[in-house]
Structure formats: C-alpha cells, structure tokens
Structure 1
C-alpha cells in the first residue's frame, strides 16, 4: 500500500476527551498506519499531519520522534520523513556465512568496494584473536559492502598470512569465503560473534552515507575451521536502517545463558 492510498484523516483521528495524551494516541495510530505502507515511502508533511489530526506541531513532532527512535520511521535532512527501509537480516549463531552469500540467498544484489588490502605485522590484540604471535604477518582487508548499490556495511577482516599466500593478488570484490574455500580449502565452520551499538565517526559516516554520530550496529567475529585452525577476525559496522541481526536461541547442543562479554574494539567507532 502507498501513502496516498491511506485515509490519513480517518486513520489518525484522535479524541481530546480521552484520558490518554494526544501524542500517545497519535503515536499508536501512526504506528499501525506506517506498518501497512511500503518501506521507504515518504510520509505526509508536518503541516499535512496537523490538518489531518487537528493537533499541534509539537504533538506531531513528539509522536514522530518516538517512532523514529523505534526505527519505524527515518528522517532525511532536507527531504522529509519516510517509513524505514526494509532491513536485511543477518543470522548470528549458525554456521558462519559471508555477506555475499547471505544477500544472494535473500534475492538482493550485493557488491563490494575494496578500501584497503595490505600485509601488516599483527598487534598483540589481533595476534591473540588469531592464535598468532605478536608481529606475525596478517592480511588486512577493509571493504565497503553495498546492497542494491547503496552503502550498507564496512568490514575489516584480518587473516593469518601463512594460510592465504597470494590473497592480495586475487579478486577481492566478491565473496571472501568463496575465495578461502575454493582457492585455499579453508571453510569457516565455527566461531563467535558479538554485537553492540556505537556512534559513527566522521570517516564511517562518510563511507556509509549517514549523519555524523548516527548509531550503527557493530559486530566482531572470529571463526575457525572444523580442525580448529584460526581463520579470521573481522569487525563490521552496519547501517542500523538497512541491517538487522537474527540470533537463534536454544540451538542444538547449546544452552541459553548470559553472554554479556563484548569485544572492546567495538565500543568506540573503529575508524578515526
């Protein structure tokens, strides 16, 4: 359904005689209405909403602000308010899958822009994540992941250089996991992933085309092969309006519990 097909005056009617505050009535009516509209649809202007509802601009703004904070609406400077874009779910807790594979399974068009690809000496922190000694060589691969041509996520992967000789000479625009599997016989089979919300710094905001200090979803992933060989340590920063993360609870052989330990590297934005 499009926004033009909704009878806003009827759907958003509020009753001043009720004990419930007007902004609360309006917010709940808006909540129902926007869920029936296609993602990324422009909403009526503040002036139009005032005409539909008969309430003040302050009441309109308060109700809309609540739905923006919940992620049901998004505001775009100089453009207006829109229903939130459809989020792309990424599964956490199952066998590790890469961005390209996940998006292809969902029928979306993934693409990649390589930002950095180099061989460096591992810091103590990176070495610990990968089961290496500090100073051992690692491949660092930072890429901007796009979905249907729009920036979606920045990934920074670290891999033991000894496992992937010649990786920097290969095409790195596609699936890294496919390259690891087909060229090196390395398949991510198990690992851990943590998630936290951080604020985008200037560089991350520019790369993802979002406002400075906007909230982004940040994850850290470590994976290994079936034989236990440490394979990758990857940090990802994803746009909250385009990505969501799905965690399967009570997986086979697992237990539910309090897993509150998060990678300290994610607490500030990674990029400076």
Structure 2
C-alpha cells in the first residue's frame, strides 16, 4: 500500500497522481482498464474525496485517464502510432549499428504472477509466471533510456537466467527459445517522466519523456515481450525514413 506523507513538501493530491501514474506506467493497470472508483481510492489511500478528485483530474488533463459519465475512469489508449522503420531491431542492436558505445545496467529482474493486463497482452493465463526486467542504458555514463519488459516465460523458459548486462534481449530470446523474433507493434506517446523513472534517468519527475510502448512477437505470432522504452526528450530522438506509396 502507498504511504502518503501529510507533512511532506509534496501536496497530497500530487502524491495521489504519482500513485496512480505509477500503476499505469508499471502496467499494473492497462489500457482500457477501469481504475478504482473515487470512493474505493478514498478507502485505499485514507484521503479525502477532494484530494482524490484533484489527483485524478491532473491525470485526466495529462491524457493518462478518461472519465466516462456513469461508467467510471479508465486508462486511455494513446491516439498515435508510427513505426520508426521497416526493420525490427532492438534498441541495443540499433545503437550498435550506429556505432554508439553503451553500457547496460539491470536494475530489476524478478518473476511475477501475471495480472489481467499482462495475461491479456502476453496471451498467458492470469497468475502464470512472467519475467519483469528493467534496464538502464547509458552512453558515456549518461542514462539515455529506461527499458521495462514483461516477458513470456511459457515460450521461453530459462530466460530469467540470462545475463542481460552482456546479452541483448532479442539475442537471448532467440538463443533460448530456438525461434526468431518476428514483429513489433509500437506506440509512441509523450509523457511526464514520473518520480520512479526520473530517478533512473536522472531528470526532473515532470520532465517530458517519450514512451515507446511495444508488443513483440515471435515469427509464429506468439507474444514474447510487452513493455516500454522511456527516452528523455533532451537526450534522444526517434528518426525515420519513409517512401511515398506509389
């Protein structure tokens, strides 16, 4: 349960926003999921209705939530999706192709039971084990991306034993599963960084970041990775080259 500090310099409604934002960013609450009602949040967080309402309204204004009259408040679907290229490369592979030296730090790696959103996206039973993997990539000591992955252990058992500081995720998946990585569906969204990711990216929690949410499938169409890459707006850009259709 979240701890709210009434004597903190951070206003209580901002702490409510941080709490709900973290639930969404960590994908505990997925797109189109209904979040707890105001009364449920009041009971969960032991805060007044006005404080909860103000915190939720801030996230509606950010575009993370939408309120539907008579139905509740839901996590929204981003409105724009655009692939960066026609070739599927991991971010590590892309940096290597460009000759950019980087280092990877694994900051979290744990096996967890799948919740509703995770089971839906990975095509596994609710409660089935999946691998949560969080990594920071640095260039010349400066963090340039924070990567969160929810990985399907059903089709890639033993993945949790891989050394992701030295081996790229796609390479590990292909080595262990014996199957090739096939396609990726990506959605780009502008976000406020949020407290947790700001700590890893060494930026202000209100700083703009680009979230690249993706669902990666093996060659046979089986989902293998559901996650996000978080890119600080002042350190990274996404470029693309396209050709006009004839």
Asked whether the two chains share a fold, i.e. TM above 0.5, the reply is: yes
Match of 2:188 in 1: 195
Point out the structure with max Rg over C-alpha: 1
Match of 2:152 in 1: 160
Instruction: Give how far 1:184 is off.
Output: 2.3
* Count of residues in correspondence between the two structures: 163
TM-score, with length taken from structure 1: 0.56
Is this contact kept in 1: 2:144–2:236, CA < 8 A? Answer: yes
Instruction: Give how far 1:110 is off.
Output: 1.7
Task: Describe the superposition over 1:73-101 as per-residue Cα deviations: whole angstroms up to 9, x where unpaired.
Answer: xxxxxxxxxxxxxxxxxx72423211211
Equivalent of 2:118, from 115, 123, 126? 126
Instruction: Give how far 1:189 is off.
Output: 1.3
Is this contact kept in 1: 2:150–2:225, CA < 8 A? Answer: yes
Q: In the aligned structure 1, how far is the partner of 2:152 from the partner of 2:103? A: 25
Pairing 1:18-57 to 2, within 5 Å after superposition:
none
Instruction: Give how far 1:115 is off.
Output: 1.1
Instruction: Give how far 1:128 is off.
Output: 1.0
Match of 1:145 in 2: 137
Distance 1:192 1:161, change over 3 A: same
Q: In the aligned structure 1, how far is the partner of 2:126 from the partner of 2:180? A: 25
Equivalent of 2:127, from 116, 131, 135? 135
Is this contact kept in 2: 1:190–1:226, CA < 8 A? Answer: yes
Instruction: Give how far 1:212 is off.
Output: 2.5
Instruction: Give how far 1:245 is off.
Output: 1.6
Distance 1:251 1:193, change over 3 A: farther
Is this contact kept in 2: 1:96–1:223, CA < 8 A? Answer: no
Q: In the aligned structure 2, how far is the partner of 1:158 from the partner of 1:186? A: 18
Matched, 1:101 2:86: no
Task: Describe the superposition over 1:219-265 as per-residue Cα deviations: whole angstroms up to 9, x where unpaired.
Answer: 1100112211111111111111221123454588xx9xxxxxxxxxx
Instruction: Give how far 1:207 is off.
Output: 1.0
Instruction: Give how far 1:138 is off.
Output: 0.8
Instruction: Give how far 1:178 is off.
Output: 1.1
Unaligned 5+ runs, structure 2: 1-82
Q: In the aligned structure 2, how far is the partner of 1:168 from the partner of 1:109? A: 25
Is this contact kept in 2: 1:218–1:235, CA < 8 A? Answer: yes
Q: CA RMSD in A?
A: 2.0
Q: In the aligned structure 2, how far is the partner of 1:201 from the partner of 1:223? A: 25
